[in-house]
Structure 1
Amino acid sequence: MAFGSMNSSGQQAPMAEINVVPLVDVMLVLLIIFIITAPLLTHSVKIDLPRAESTPNITQPEHVELAIRTDGNLFWNGEPVLLDQLSSRFAATIDQEPRTELHIKADKLAHYEHVARVMSIAANAGMARIGFITDPTLQE
């Protein structure tokens, strides 16, 4: 293995060729490593994943459905109600059944201010369970 060549004057000149033998050795070692590890990467691990169900939640009978229209009108289980009456109605409902849920059914174009005000009044009255009702069948 020569690292240089001797010219006619006896001086050693630098070698102008690249020695690829070490590079080939490294590439062969990497190739063998990949040949051994590649089949190990294709095996999958068996995991029992939970199944998602799209069945609707079964609501308990003690719930209040409050509808909010676009113009700000409120409906307590279908009957019109004023914003000033909500606090007393929430308090009376909580006194009868503390686990009562509030289901807010807001119109698509209702202002968030109306929804936030109703949620604030309900939370101050002691309603701990507040949810929103949506209609998944409507598509735009």
Structure 2
Amino acid sequence: MAFASSAETAPLGEMNMTPLIDVLLVLLIMFVITIPLSAHSIDIDVGSNTEKFEFDPIVNKVVVTESGTVLWNGQPASQSELKSNLLLASRIAPEPELQFEPEGNASYDLSAHTLRTIKASPVTKFGFVGNDQYREFGAK
């Protein structure tokens, strides 16, 4: 029978890192889960130059046309007029629903810019309408 030498039976002097790494990963996951989401808002005070626009107390509609025009309830509106209309519409009690409907070949850039304007406004009731007509690509 062969006996092991004393050098082979000596305990290892290294720390087992696996449990330490496991604990650190669990703590990292718990930290990420408990971080609160920050909500940013910007208050915009714009003038009230909306005498020519109609406000529906139930539903207001924003349409981006193929010709590059933004319509507020069927009337052409610039981006600054859109901002003031959104501000005034949000102050109506109860707040009317805002519907957004871009036409099929409307400019993507203008649609995205209009959506950013709506997102920056205090409007809380917002919806996309008319999407069902584009259910199949190239249908219209």
What TM-score does the superposition give when structure 2 sets the normalisation length? 0.49
**Structure possessing the higher radius of gyration over alpha carbons:** 1
Higher strand fraction: Structure 1 or Structure 2? 1
Greater relative contact order (CA < 8 Å, ≥ 6 in sequence): 2
Q: Give the TM-score normalised by structure 1.
A: 0.49
